[in-house]
Amino acid sequence: MTNDNWYIEHFQPTGSAIGYRITGKLDEVQSPFQKIEIYNTTDWGKLMIIDGAVMLTTRDNFFYHEMISHPVLFTHAAPKRVVIIGGGDCGTLREVLKHPGVESATQCDIDEQVTRMSEKYFPELCDSNSDPRAELLFDDGVAYMANCPAGSVDVVIVDSTDPVGPAEGLFNKAFYESCFRALKDDGILVQQSESPLALLDLIKEMRAEMGKAGFTTFKTLPFPQPCYPTGWWSVTLARKSGGFDFRQDDAANKGFETLYYTAPLHTGVLVSPPFVAKVLGE
């Protein structure tokens, strides 16, 4: 909803709103799946909205893209084959390909228009799209994972919109079973898991669905994300078995730049805040 020169998203599930001061709308496209809008803001660079929900801003997307990528990649012992479901803005792909050990990263987003808009308005996120290790597909992520050869993937990253609309099928047992099958025995699934403050029940349900698909161990990592409801967001890691040994030395000597992610930060969030631990039964 636009109010004067502010774009305000009134997020009904949490009863809270977040918005930005804008100077105008730059673009709008109705894809076969969703409406994508681009605004210019006074302080946050470009703003992408999908079906009325804030997706990212130029200024603050690094929190999310770093935290959905580096913790899982520094937890897996040696990730070589990575699949990104969703992630059409290409920011996650860029972070993943900062890891020299990654040999191939396939991004499968159902909506090509998200990537086309990102190339135009967030070109810095698309820096690695022409990396020879990158493969960009525009297809149904549910079908892609269902057809993925068994035991072929080290890390699956589910970088999707909220669990309504096009992304609904990425939050249930059937999809997680496909991920479980596609992952090697030591593989890890990571998924954006909404606000750990206001949507903890959703995280709990998500972990329950992952559990029904066979995953046995879970870790939810919180991080700031100013443009998402409550400004505090999370990713949830799931493994077939075993714990979440963190390659701390490798993270401390990662050899590439990040804006938010550090090894000490990663260690710090491995223990959940007490109120989160209580709800999640940790």
Q: Which is nearer to its own copies, 138 or 246 (CB)?
A: 246
Minimal distance, residue 242 CB to its own copies, in Å: 21
Residue 1, token pair as written in the block: 């909803």
Minimal distance, residue 64 CB to its own copies, in Å: 13
DSSP letter at 113 equals H
Distances (CA, A) of 153 to 16, 71, 183, 185, 268: 38, 17, 5, 9, 28
Q: Which is nearer to its own copies, 31 or 262 (CB)?
A: 262
Residue 269 lies near its own copies (rule: CB under 8 A) = yes
> Exactly one of 154, 159, 186, 201 is catalytic; which is it?
159
Residue 14 lies near its own copies (rule: CB under 8 A) = yes
Please state, in angstroms and rounded to a whole number, the distance separating the CA atoms of residues 85 and 157. Answer: 6
Residue 21 lies near its own copies (rule: CB under 8 A) = yes
Note the helical H segments in the chain.
61-73, 91-96, 112-121, 141-147, 173-182, 200-212, 248-252, 263-269, 274-280
Please state, in angstroms and rounded to a whole number, the distance separating the CA atoms of residues 93 and 146. Answer: 21
Of the residues 2, 42, 216, 241, which one makes contact with its own copies according to CB under 8 A: 42
Q: Which is nearer to its own copies, 174 or 275 (CB)?
A: 275
Of the residues 205, 246, 260, 279, which one makes contact with its own copies according to CB under 8 A: 260
Minimal distance, residue 47 CB to its own copies, in Å: 11
Binding segment toward its own copies, per CB under 8 A, in 37-45, 103-111, 122-130, 210-218: 37-45
Q: Is 159 marked within a binding site?
A: yes
Residue 78 lies near its own copies (rule: CB under 8 A) = no
Interhelix angle 200-212/173-182, rounded to 10 degrees, is 60
**Residue keyed to tokens 């701390």:** 248
159 flagged as catalytic: yes
For Cα atoms 218, 110, 194, give the angle at the middle one, nearest 5 degrees: 35
Residue 255 lies near its own copies (rule: CB under 8 A) = no
Q: Are 156 and 83 in contact (CB under 8 A)?
A: yes
Please state, in angstroms and rounded to a whole number, the distance separating the CA atoms of residues 145 and 83. Answer: 9
Residues that bind its own copies (CB under 8 A): 3, 6, 8, 10, 12, 14-21, 41-44, 59-60, 62, 197-198, 222, 224-226, 230-232, 257-262, 264-271, 273-275
Residues forming the annotated binding site for spermidine?
Answer: 65, 89, 159-162
